[in-house]
Amino acid sequence: MAKIKNIRAYKILDSRGEWTIETEIFLDNGIISRASVPQGKSVGSFEAKSVLPDKAIESIEETLSPLIIGKNPEDQNEIDDIMIQADNTPDKSRLGANSILGISINCARASALAQNIPLWKYLETKFNLSANTNPRLFLNVINGGMHAGNNLKFQEYIIISKGENLTKSVGLGASIYQAVKKYLIKNLGKTASCLGDEGGFAPNFPDELAPFEILKKVIDEEGLSDKFDLGMDAAASNVDVSSQELIKTYEEIKKKFNVLYLEDLFGEEDFENFSKLKESIGNNTIIAGDDLTTTNIKRMKIAKEKESINGIIIKPNQIGTLTETIQAIKLAKEWGWFVIVSHRSGETNDDFIVDLALGTGADGLKIGSPARGERIAKLNRILQIQRNELN
Which of 198, 208, 263, 324 is catalytic? The answer is: 198
Distance CA 277, CA 266 (A): 10
198 catalytically annotated:
yes
Name the E strands within the chain. Answer: 4-13, 19-27, 32-36, 136-143, 156-161, 228-233, 261-263, 286-289, 311-314, 338-342, 364-368
Strands 311-314 and 338-342 turn out to be parallel
Q: How far is 273 from 256, CA to CA, in rounded Å?
A: 21
Query: For residues 65 and 100, what is the distance between their CA atoms, to the nearest angstrom?
Result: 10
DSSP per-residue letters across 217-285? HHHHHTT-TTSEEEEEE--GGG--S-HHHHHHHHHHHHHHH--SEEE--S-TT-HHHHHHHHHHHTTSS
* Annotated catalytic residue, options 92, 216, 315, 333: 315
Residue 135 DSSP class = P
Active site residue 71: no
* Pairing state between β 136-143 and 338-342: unpaired
Write the DSSP symbol of residue 338.
E
- Residues designated catalytic: 198, 315
